[in-house]
Amino acid sequence: ADAVKFQTFIAEKFSSRADAARFARLQKFQLSFDEFAELAERARAKGLMFFSTPLDLDSARFLATIVDALKIASGDNIFWPLIECCAESG
């Protein structure tokens, strides 16, 4: 493998608490920004590219500081604020 890819999100910004079961599932999969930074370090130590798909604006802003690339999810191909945020990161 040449790269590792993740999805980065903040459950509170990605899903409604109204759907308690879905929200609880998402929280189980959510990693902290510190955990993502550690994963990026480990990937680079192994000679791997590290990239992720941000699912909210705060995640995109954070990822821009640690990733080699950002990927836009196909479901977000018209989420212009996210696309612009990612494009501005370089």
Q: pTM for the complete prediction?
A: 0.88
For the segment 33-66, what is each residue's pLDDT rounded down to a tens digit? Answer: 999 999 999 999 999 999 999 999 999 999 999 9
Q: What per-residue confidence (pLDDT) applies to 1?
A: 85
Q: How many CB atoms lie within 10 A of CB 8?
A: 22
C-alpha triplet 61, 29, 50: angle, nearest 5°: 50
Residue pLDDT, tens place only, 42-51: 999 999 999 9
